[in-house]
Amino acid sequence: MGDPADFEGWSCPAPLRGYDRVVTGHGGGGKLSLELVEHLFLPALGIDGAGELHDAAAVDAGGVRLAFSTDSYVVQPLFFPGGCIGDLAVNGTVNDVAMRGGRPIALSAGFVLEEGLPLATLGRVAEAMGVAARAAGVPLVTGDTKVVDACKATAGGASGLFVNTAGIGVIPPGVDIRPRRATIGDRVIVSGPIGLHGVAVMATRAGLEFETTVQSDSAPLNGLVEAMLEASTEIHVLRDPTRGGLGATLCEIAGSAGVGIEVSESAVPVPDEVAAACALLGLDVMQVANEGKLVAIVPDADADAVLEAMVRHPRGREARVIGSVTDEHPGMVVACTALGGRRVMDLPLGEQLPRIC
């Protein structure tokens, strides 16, 4: 099939902002990620681009509806306050399955290891995965390991390990949770304080250490979702605001459903330490990643019951209504600031960069 750098045999159906190579932002969960999916992956894979983009796909398996999801984890450093790449890989995929309304039943784990990685490091990561899987009540049932040559750029550094997890869940009959179901009049609920994971990781990243007691919120949300579904099976949308944060998640929902979303900034729970770190680094907290929070979009009539079920659950104790779905500004998210102003929340381009001067 010729040289891999050969441009013959493939042409991009729509220009990708003039880039002809992968840049970091393509993995950031913002506009560049979306463009890569819409303009490269979907046409190249031959998948109908009109399909909705989800945290998990729904698949019929002999009459049982399954939620199926995958995620690769490449976080640096491997260990950070509140967790490590291992529990993140378990919780992230458990949560993606749960965001489709699926009750997770099994996980797979695929490791790519760099030659030279200390086995003790690998052991600690695997142990964290086992602990997280038991905490979520979802067994790791199948796996795979590959070894690749050591990368000279990271030798001696903290790198050396990527994990992919995939997960299956069973979607209960009558449950239909997906972004397009967001309906005018629905309430927007967030399950707790935002920004913790992103700030915790950034605080330990080489060259950027700063003092903070912020810990990652890495946690499984399947139990919380079960409690919410007991309160109402009419939940329209669930999403965990990971890469791109709460802002990107709301923008994607507004875009998918063709509705407007209005958020009251002062209603969004932001811990003081997260707010301080964001101010210091020049980050928008609405774009900072979370790994143990969810956003629910629920019919007005069911919102109180769902919120009550959330605050009774340990993972949703600080849940709050933060906004609503509106027929104004379809496809757009508008934040009402504490001072009474209004600002459009846009999908970030790629990854947020900390302030450097």
Between residue 158 and residue 197, which ones bind a copy of itself under the rule CB under 8 A?
158, 160, 162, 164, 166, 168, 170
Near a copy of itself by CB under 8 A: residue from 31, 52, 95, 120: 120
Near a copy of itself by CB under 8 A: residue from 62, 314, 340, 341: 62
**Residue 165 beta carbon to a copy of itself: minimum distance, rounded to whole angstroms:** 8
User: How many residues make contact with a copy of itself (CB under 8 A)?
Assistant: 103
Per CB under 8 A, 222 contacts a copy of itself? no
CB contact set of 35 (below 8 Å; sequence gap of 6+): 16, 17
**Residue 66 beta carbon to a copy of itself: minimum distance, rounded to whole angstroms:** 6
Per CB under 8 A, 10 contacts a copy of itself? yes
Per CB under 8 A, 238 contacts a copy of itself? no
Give 26 or 187: the residue with its C-beta nearer to a copy of itself.
26
State which H helix or E strand residue 276 sits in. Answer: helix 272-281
Per CB under 8 A, 249 contacts a copy of itself? no
| 40: region left, alpha or beta (phi > 0 left; psi from -120 to 50 alpha) | alpha
d(CA 77, CA 75): 6
Per CB under 8 A, 127 contacts a copy of itself? yes
**Residue 169 beta carbon to a copy of itself: minimum distance, rounded to whole angstroms:** 9
Gyration radius of the chain's alpha carbons: 20
Give 152 or 338: the residue with its C-beta nearer to a copy of itself.
152
Per CB under 8 A, 22 contacts a copy of itself? yes
Q: Are 144 and 111 in contact (CB under 8 A)?
A: yes
Q: Are 342 and 264 in contact (CB under 8 A)?
A: no
Give 165 or 324: the residue with its C-beta nearer to a copy of itself.
165
Near a copy of itself by CB under 8 A: residue from 44, 208, 279, 344: 44
Q: Are 56 and 100 in contact (CB under 8 A)?
A: yes
Q: Are 264 and 320 in contact (CB under 8 A)?
A: no
Near a copy of itself by CB under 8 A: residue from 38, 112, 183, 326: 112
Give 65 or 293: the residue with its C-beta nearer to a copy of itself.
65
Stretch that binds a copy of itself, among 66-74, 278-286, 319-327, 341-349 (CB under 8 A): 66-74
State which H helix or E strand residue 274 sits in. Answer: helix 272-281
Near a copy of itself by CB under 8 A: residue from 30, 31, 54, 181: 54
d(CA 295, CA 339): 24
Per CB under 8 A, 114 contacts a copy of itself? yes
Subset of residues 24 to 43 that bind a copy of itself, contact rule: CB under 8 A: 24-28, 33, 36-37, 40-41
CB contact set of 195 (below 8 Å; sequence gap of 6+): 245, 270, 271, 274, 275, 277, 278, 285, 288, 290
* Half-sphere exposure of residue 108: CA atoms within 13 angstroms, side-chain side: 14
Per CB under 8 A, 68 contacts a copy of itself? yes
Subset of residues 129 to 148 that bind a copy of itself, contact rule: CB under 8 A: 129-131, 133-134, 139-148
Q: How far, CA to CA in Å, does 146 sit from each of 111, 160, 326? A: 6, 12, 49
User: Helix, strand or coil for residue 228?
Assistant: helix
Per CB under 8 A, 52 contacts a copy of itself? no
**Residue 91 beta carbon to a copy of itself: minimum distance, rounded to whole angstroms:** 15
State which H helix or E strand residue 144 sits in. Answer: strand 140-148
